[in-house]
Amino acid sequence: MLRATGLIRSLIRKTSRHFTKLSCNSSSSQASETIQENMDFPFLEDSRSIATIRESKIFFIIRGLPGSGKSYLAKSIKDKYESTSQLLSADHYGIIPKVKEPVLKQYEKFDHRIEGYCKEGTNVIVIDDTNHDKERLDYLFDTADKYQYSVLIVEPKTEWKMDCKTLVEKSHWDPSVEVVEKMKLSFEEPLLPLYFGWFLSKDSSQELQLKRKHFLETLGKSSFFRKNVKQFLPVGANKEKLDLDKYFCRRPNILHCTTKFCDYGNAEGAEEYAASEAVNKFYSKAFRLTISALFVTSKTAGAQVELSSEQLELWPKEEEEEVAKSNESLSSGSRAHITLATAEGVQYVQTGLDLLRFVRMEEAGNKGDKMGEICEGTVHYFNEDMWMLYLTNKIHVNALFSGFYGKERQESNIEKSCFIF
């Protein structure tokens, strides 16, 4: 009798486990279908964005709470870019999501592999982790910047991504609701970059830097520039030794066209801009920027960018308001530019200020003096240190709209080739 009772209990347990497994598989299948419905990201669906990413160096940071669908999203990105991508998942290193990420042996191995792929120049690197801890994020941002990767921070769009009870049910780590609720606090604060902007693809950056070098070398050797070179020389220096390409010795790690300086959320209007419909719509989307001119002053070398109506949707509205208050007739996006290089000790923000000097003079009817034709364009001389090359054929570059999240670079990134008189 006792033996029969034991057999019945054993059968009940096995049957219960069988139905539980079927239920879990059914729920998992339904969850996958739901996640697929929320995968409308430009980097997965937009052909131009996909093509631009393939010619770039992109560092995807997948961010989300346990059970939110981030691993599915990470795998989808890996599958989209196939052999040109590498996926690193914290799960595979046995790293359990916690409120405060400790320094673990698993992270040492994880980070060693990240740096390895960066050194190899892997086209697309996908980091699948909760990525909620500030110190952890700072490490990833610095690593991406060190190896000249553009960062895309991506979160799942699942309906339950902030529903702690549902997240606990879906997470294979089986965290407590209390732990997930504490982790959730990190996701309620906006993660804002130093600045938003369009970041040029690796291929477009290389092409534009070659044009910069050719322009500076050709302009520097021209007779008309040599006659008006004093603003580029210290007192008593020999103008024959001036090398413009070496004179402009500070160069951005990644060429970009800034839209909004956010200072990680400290700048006025930063949170409103980050939450705007345009930013949410176009984040991670590729654009084709048009360059109409290259320019040089004694402080900066840059490229003037003409923005399309769609691109102007991302231009800060407060800048238009400031122009209106000043009674200037400058059009929206007049400051749009790409910093190619600056002289020693000159900050990159100066390039936009220099461009506005040109624009204001043009608006006042001063087009400068036509000096000659070089580099498939016409050079105009405005005053002692202002030179503009109007391009006969405009340059088009591919760029992704994203943010720069790393530390602001100071003088440490001055090229060793700085020209010394």
Give the residue numbers annotated as catalytic, written as ranges. Answer: 256, 337
Q: Give residues with Cβ within 8 angstroms of 189, minimum separation 6.
A: none
Any idea what the Cα angle at residue 49 is, between residues 156 and 153, rounded to 5°?
35
- Distance between CA atoms of residues 345 and 78, nearest Å: 41
Helical pair 47-54 and 70-81, crossing angle rounded to 10 deg: 70
Across 6-84, the runs of DSSP E, i.e. the strands, are: 58-62
Q: Report DSSP letters for 383-419, one per residue.
A: ETTEEEEEEEEEEEEEEEEEEE-SPPP-GGGB-TT--
Any idea what the Cα angle at residue 334 is, between residues 333 and 338, rounded to 5°?
85
**Residue 193: which region, alpha, beta or left (left: phi > 0; alpha: psi -120 to 50)?**
beta
Length of the chain: 421
Give the 3-state secondary structure of residue 226: helix
Task: Specify the residue for token string 């530390």.
Answer: 407
